[in-house]
């Protein structure tokens, strides 16, 4: 039973692989996140001596600013996340992408093909791809060559992305049901009629299956692309951005946030109560309900919904 998702959103998620929530964040939330992006980027630029026009991405960005951390369990997004992927979850990755306008003389390649000066200049992630399909991850044996459902991300726009060619995220609706091989065979060119350039106001959100083919368009506008992705996957997979989050961060987090940050309840042994003779990863089949407080939360939400 859905605790947050409408029937139309469920159908879009199953059919297209995503649904869009325009103006999801309040103006104050968007401003706080946009300011946080500037602050974090400014700090990293200063620390690393990067020029202001450098494009870069910050991973495990949730640990860089409280505003980003607060997106982990955003009260209006969490029900949608749990409806999409369940309660036995944690953060796989959180990333901020900061992409200043291209230099005026730069000639962008075809959208998502990775053949232009922008690609050569290191503007990463422009090419069409599904996530998790590299030879190291899931290009192993599979029943029919398709990717299993492994994760979702929530994409947040922290700048006005309503125009074309301002570093828009492109998605190919329904492509999570197609094989990565098919995309390769297409020369990584997705026909216009099979793709969608997202044009969204600041503060919008998109909940999407990351097996959906996606790419980032060029930024030939005069504004900086500032966006955030929060990725959720199952606790029995391994995160990419961290092994363990900072103990101080875990210590001051609520139980649900702790779970999402990949931690056990305080004092819990990750290998269970009989770890000496019968170790059993509590990331697989948690015995202590305190290790997965999101379950009780989801059940309580369900009851509240039913009672209405």
Ligand X SMILES: O=C(O)CCC(=O)C(=O)O
Q: For ligand X, which residue of 29, 73, 118, 131 counts as binding (CB under 6 A)?
A: 131
Q: What does the block give as tokens for 37? A: 């992006």
Which lies closer to ligand X via its Cβ, residue 151 or residue 291? Answer: 151
**Nearest approach, Cβ of 93 to ligand X (angstroms)?**
8
Token pair 């209405």 in the structure block, residue: 308
CA distance 241 to 88: 19
Q: For ligand X, which residue of 16, 29, 83, 97 counts as binding (CB under 6 A)?
A: 97
Q: What does the block give as tokens for 280? A: 């059993």
CB atoms inside a 10 Å sphere around CB 25: 23
Which lies closer to ligand X via its Cβ, residue 157 or residue 259? Answer: 157
Asked if 209 touches ligand X (CB under 6 A), the answer is no
User: Do residues 297 and 87 touch, judged by C-beta distance below 8 A?
Assistant: yes
**Nearest approach, Cβ of 256 to ligand X (angstroms)?**
25
**Nearest approach, Cβ of 125 to ligand X (angstroms)?**
4
User: Do residues 107 and 116 touch, judged by C-beta distance below 8 A?
Assistant: yes
Which lies closer to ligand X via its Cβ, residue 171 or residue 298? Answer: 171
Q: What does the block give as tokens for 292? A: 């997965």
**Nearest approach, Cβ of 208 to ligand X (angstroms)?**
10
Q: What does the block give as tokens for 13? A: 């998620």
Asked if 214 touches ligand X (CB under 6 A), the answer is yes
Which lies closer to ligand X via its Cβ, residue 97 or residue 241? Answer: 97
**Nearest approach, Cβ of 97 to ligand X (angstroms)?**
4
Q: For ligand X, which residue of 36, 169, 183, 261 counts as binding (CB under 6 A)?
A: 169
Which lies closer to ligand X via its Cβ, residue 82 or residue 215? Answer: 215
C-alpha to C-alpha distances, 93 to 25, 89, 96, 208, nearest whole angstrom: 21, 12, 10, 14
Residues in contact with 136: Cβ distance below 8 Å, sequence separation at least 6, in sequence order:
none
**Beta strands at 225-234 and 151-157: parallel, antiparallel or unpaired:** antiparallel
DSSP tag of 177: G
Q: For ligand X, which residue of 227, 261, 264, 292 counts as binding (CB under 6 A)?
A: 227
Which lies closer to ligand X via its Cβ, residue 85 or residue 264? Answer: 85
Residue in the shown chain whose Cβ atom is closest to ligand X: 97
Residues of this chain that bind ligand X (CB under 6 A): 97, 125, 131, 169, 214, 216, 227
């Amino acid at each position: 039973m859905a605790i947050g998702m409408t029937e139309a959103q469920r159908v879009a998620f199953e059919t297209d692989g995503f649904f869009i929530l325009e103006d999801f964040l309040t103006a104050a939330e968007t401003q706080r996140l946009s300011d946080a992006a500037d602050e974090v980027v400014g700090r990293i630029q200063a620390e690393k001596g990067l020029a202001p026009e450098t494009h870069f991405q910050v991973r495990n960005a949730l640990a860089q600013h409280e505003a980003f951390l607060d997106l982990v369990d955003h009260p209006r997004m969490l029900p949608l996340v749990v409806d999409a992927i369940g309660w036995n979850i944690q953060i796989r990755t959180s990333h901020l992408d900061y992409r200043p306008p291209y230099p005026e003389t730069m000639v962008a390649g075809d959208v998502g093909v990775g053949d232009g000066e922008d690609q050569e200049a290191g503007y990463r992630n422009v090419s069409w791809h599904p996530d998790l399909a590299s030879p190291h991850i899931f290009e192993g044996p599979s029943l029919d060559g398709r990717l299993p459902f492994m994760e979702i991300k929530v994409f947040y726009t922290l700048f006005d992305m309503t125009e074309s060619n301002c570093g828009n995220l492109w998605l190919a609706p329904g492509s999570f049901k197609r094989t990565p091989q098919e995309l390769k065979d297409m020369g990584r060119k997705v026909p216009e009629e099979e793709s969608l350039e997202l044009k969204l106001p600041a503060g919008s959100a998109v909940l999407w299956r990351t097996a959906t083919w996606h790419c980032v368009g060029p930024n030939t506008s005069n504004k900086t692309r500032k966006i955030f992705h929060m990725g959720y996957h199952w606790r029995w997979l391994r995160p990419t951005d961290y092994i363990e989050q900072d103990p101080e961060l875990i210590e001051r987090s609520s139980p649900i946030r702790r779970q999402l940050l990949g931690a056990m309840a305080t004092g819990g042994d990750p290998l269970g109560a009989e770890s000496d003779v019968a170790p059993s990863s509590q990331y697989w089949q948690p015995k202590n309900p305190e290790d997965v407080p999101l379950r009780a939360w989801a059940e309580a939400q369900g009851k509240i919904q039913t009672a209405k």
